[in-house]
Amino acid sequence: MSALLHAKDLVVAYETGRGRVQALDSLNLTVEPGETLAIVGESGSGKSTLGLAVGRLLPAVALKESGSLTLQGQEVFAAAPDALRRLRRDLLGFVFQNPMSALDPTMRVGRQVSRAAGGCGTAEMQALLVKAGLDEPERVAASYPHELSGGMAQRVVIAMAIARGPALLIADEPTASLDVSIRARVMKTLLDLQKDAGASLIVLTHDLHLAARSCQRLAVMYGGRVVEVGRSATVLSRPAHPYTRGLLAAAAGNEAPGEDLKPIPGLPPLLRQRAPDCSFAPRCPFAEARCTDLRPEARELDRREVVCHLAERVLVEASR
Amino acid sequence: MSATPVISLQQASLTYRKRGFSGGTLTAVKSVDLEIAAGETLGLVGESGSGKSSLGKLCLGLAKPSEGNVAFQGAPFPGRKALLGKLSVVLQHPEWALNPRLRCGPSVAEPLEIAKWGDAVKRSARVAELMGQVGLDPSFAERYPGELSGGQRQRVAIARALATQPEFVLFDEAVSALDVSVQAQILNLIRSLQAEQGFAALFISHDLAATRYLCNRIAVMYKGEIVEQADARRFYGQPDHPYSRALLAAIS
Amino acid sequence: MVAALTSLWRRDRLSALAFAILALLVFLGVFGPWLPLGDATQVAAGPRLSPPTWAFPMGTDELGRSFLPRVVEGIRYTFLLATVAVIITAILGTLLGMLAATVGGFLDMVVARVADVLFAFPALLAGLLVAAVVGPGAASVITVICIATLPLFMRVVRSASLSLAERGFVIAAQVAGATTWRVILRHILPNVMSVAIIQITYALSIAMIIESALSFLGLGAQPPRASLGSLLQVSSVYLTIAPWLVGFAGLTLSLAIVCVNLLGDSLRDAVEPLPGRTLT
């Protein structure tokens, strides 16, 4: 089967008041139909830019400079307005971090959901709400968004995102704004619906635990590139990129009581142009001369793809 | 060091009157008992809206309890003058932590200035010393916040909070907006500074992982009440309250 | 300054043009009396209601006075009143807005309600009332402009200050024991300055409209003083026989107001660029 989403050497830059900032630096990524992929990265890594680029929802100051991004074989950035609308409507579903800003505060929920489903009837609309885990569809449908809790509102947003049976769901920090006690359940609903619909799911998050628990594949982004991608369990149990390894050591939650966290020194980079070297090198404990001389390219290693000259050494360290 | 806790709350409640047509009252904090000793960090976790920040306001004397007592060093909160330099706070949003129109030096020096500590020369020497303590080059005093990253701004905010060597520091979601790799830098910084200076601290967060790493004790807040209060190590194992367990499940 | 202007010209021609026109008008207004434009007060300097000629570039009015120096005199008076009034309201409104937001409680409620009431109060009605009490002239024009533009500042500055009051640096200063005045002068004022300056431009254009309207009604500038509004009123009588008079007076007034507004827009764009979508 051919890939659902395919990004090849994608370069996106922002024109800001302080000059050009390169958000995606020749990014390569493939999403197969039906799979779940978590994209993990810190702010500035380019993950949100990637998520928006898929629907060509980037702000006006962002420019796709080169490369290609295809969805079911269609070039997203070459689509005519009509084709783009069809593509967004029929192939994509979005779930954003804050459900309240995704819903129209002046319209009853039921009407919004049936509109999202293409003007379906009440029964179908309520069925969608039930599918999204809302037990009292009549009451929810008659409510305005502000009358719902955050978790319920996010379930409504999920119902709207799957209403037309999209091929790809993109969820940007879907549970970050929700209370911890309901996060797991909302995430499970999202995954169940994705599986039912046979859609692919991309979860953009900074939360490694969430990524590992919910998605089969994991892509780690740094400096506008995917620096490591493979099965979640493989990548997190034996990271081959020093940044993945650093993230795991820095994140509170994995440490034993009394054990120190090991922060990654320094700051994430702000790219002005295509990185001529490894952009993680200044913060990398493994770095040597070639890391600052030569731009690493993606290569296969130990059942994952990694962008690092020294991945073998990192792997050896990890197994010790 | 005396055995008197720096901050203590006895059966403290905080009730807000609701605005608008519906009226009524909202009890943000319900009968809370809490003590924070010198050199101790108490973690306060709970969802947003559980009353954590209101409890923080009580501890800083920014709000008066509608019932019960809040005491500072064993006595009711004294006036503004008597408290100068004894309390400070580090808040969530690094982009809002510092006045964008002021260079970092004057921002850090402000609590000293308010407390009428030393003269301008002594204060700028103290600023340089503080910058060093939070791991920044003294030249940062000359920079504007706009030139700094989130982590650097939070370091400057911590320098400002510690300028007067306060007795009590409130950290309200102080690392929540930071990236994972930078978060650990700041957590370690807070830990080492506290070991050095021995202030009492309240660390408010919705993130149990960061809280249990940093704190000696953790209080779990749910709907305005403290539902569990225990040694931080307990939160690496099996806490008692179902809500505490939900918090724990979310990070493992 | 020159570099800033050239870069503005390159970015945004319209704003640069507006700025240049405004600068010219201000220059005329300030230095008009010392410029070789003719005497504004000399009656029968030429024929009555003459069309524009080389000697009288804007023609002459009903008393044979050269109209060009009259218009310059009008610019001077209109701009002066508008500026004085707006300076007063800008200071007063900004101060009240900051105080309301920082102190809160009763004061905040009073300021918010006063702003609402003033906002709803028709400026012309206020003008008639004030002129009836104070008598027509500069004082009543300034009072009316203040009434009309005060809520602009109170509202915008109050809401900007309210959001500042929740920021970390303000709370940190309060916890450190800073007084209200310290918080206002050091932390709030420098950060609401930009919104206040943008409001100043809008207030200026409103002020000019109000001044002209009141003078048109005879409540503002009293003869022989001329303002753009009073010139408009006098020349409107001769609209059918000397239409250029209304044309020149009206054009100058419109140009001034449009340029002030354009300048305000470009200032606002410079201070708060269109955010686009926020990135997380």
Judged by CB atoms closer than 8 Å, whether chains meet at B88 and C172 is answered as yes
Question: Which residue's entry shows tokens 């509170």?
Answer: A252
**pLDDT band at C280, cuts 50/70/90?**
very low
How far, in Å, are A14, A101, A158, A318 from residue A204 at the CA level?
Answer: 20, 18, 15, 25
CB-closest option in A17, A48, A173 to C279 = A48
Helix/strand/coil (H, E, C) string of chain A? CCCCEEEEEEEEEEEECCEEEEEEEEEEEEECCCCEEEEECCCCCCHHHHHHHHCCCCCCCEEEEEEEEEECCEEHHHCCHHHHHHHHHHHEEEECCCHHHHCCCCCCHHHHHHHHCCCCCHHHHHHHHHHCCCCCHHHHHCCCHHHCCHHHHHHHHHHHHHCCCCCEEEEECCCCCCCHHHHHHHHHHHHHHHHHHCCEEEEEECCHHHHHHHCCEEEEEECCEEEEEEEHHHHHHCCCCHHHHHHHHHCCCCCCCCCCCCCCCCCCCCCCCCCCCCCCHHHCCCCCHHHHHCCCCCEEECCEEECCCCHHHHHHHHHC
Q: To 5 degrees, how large is the angle CA C151–CA C155–CA C158?
A: 135
Task: Give me the residue from C276, C277, C280 closest to A97, CB to CB.
Answer: C280
* C-beta atoms of A172 and C276 within 8 A: no
**Rounded to whole angstroms, how far apart are CA atoms B211 and B203?**
7
Q: Which of A181, A213, A284 is the best substitution to test chain B (most B C-beta atoms within 10 A)?
A: A181
- Mean of pLDDT over chain A: 90
Q: Which two tokens stand for residue A231?
A: 């099965």
List of chain B residues whose C-beta atoms are within 8 Å of the C-beta of residue C175: 60, 62, 87-89, 170
Highest mean predicted confidence (pLDDT) among C26-35, C66-75, C158-167: C158-167
Query: What is the average per-residue pLDDT within C157-174?
Result: 92
Residue A231 has pLDDT above 90, yes or no: yes
| Residue with the larger pLDDT of the pair A257 and C146 | C146
Residues in chain B, pLDDT under 50: 1
Q: Which of C114, C92, C212, C107 is nearest to C162 (CA)?
A: C107
In angstroms, the CA C43 to CA A138 distance is: 83
pLDDT of residue A296: 94
pLDDT digits over C44-60, tens only? Answer: 677 777 778 877 778 77
Closest-approach residue (CA) in chain C for B169: C175
pLDDT of residue C44: 67
The rounded radius of gyration (Å) of the Cα atoms in chain C is 22
Interface of C with A in 236-275 (CB under 8 A): 273
CA distance A290 to A269: 19
Residue C27 contacts B, CB cutoff 8 Å: no
What pLDDT score was predicted for residue C90? 95
Interface contacts A/B by beta carbons within 8 Å: 80
* Facing residue for A179 by CB, picked from B47, B207, B232: B47
Query: Exposed, middle or buried: residue B62 (CB in 10 Å: 0-12, 13-18, 19+)?
Result: middle
Interface check for C4 against chain A (CB to CB < 8 A): the answer is no
* pLDDT one-digit tens code per residue, C212-269: 888 888 888 777 788 888 888 888 888 888 888 888 989 999 999 999 999 888 887 7
Beta carbons of A172 and C280 less than 8 Å apart: yes
Q: pLDDT at position C272, please?
A: 62
Residue B206 is predicted with a pLDDT of 86
Question: Looking up tokens 């004061």, which residue turns up?
Answer: C107
Q: In this model, does residue A21 exceed pLDDT 80? A: yes
Q: Write down the ipTM of this complex.
A: 0.89
User: What is the pLDDT at residue B20?
Assistant: 62
Give mean pLDDT, residues C185-197.
92
B181 CB within 8 Å of a chain A CB: yes
CB neighbour class for C210 (10 Å; exposed up to 12, middle 13-18, buried from 19): buried
In the predicted model, is pLDDT for residue A271 greater than 60? yes
- B-chain CB neighbours of A252 within 8 Å are 183-184, 187, 207, 209-210, 212-213, 251
C252-257 long-range contacts, CB within 8 A, separation 24+: C252/C25, C252/C71, C252/C74, C252/C75, C252/C228, C253/C78, C253/C208, C253/C212, C253/C228, C253/C229, C255/C21, C255/C25, C256/C22, C256/C25, C256/C75, C256/C78, C256/C79, C256/C208, C256/C228, C257/C205, C257/C208, C257/C209
Q: What is the DSSP letter of C220?
A: S
Q: Do the Cβ atoms of A61 and C276 come within 8 Å?
A: yes
Neighbours of chain C (3+ CB pairs under 8 A): A, B
Say if C277 is an interface residue toward chain A (CB within 8 Å): yes
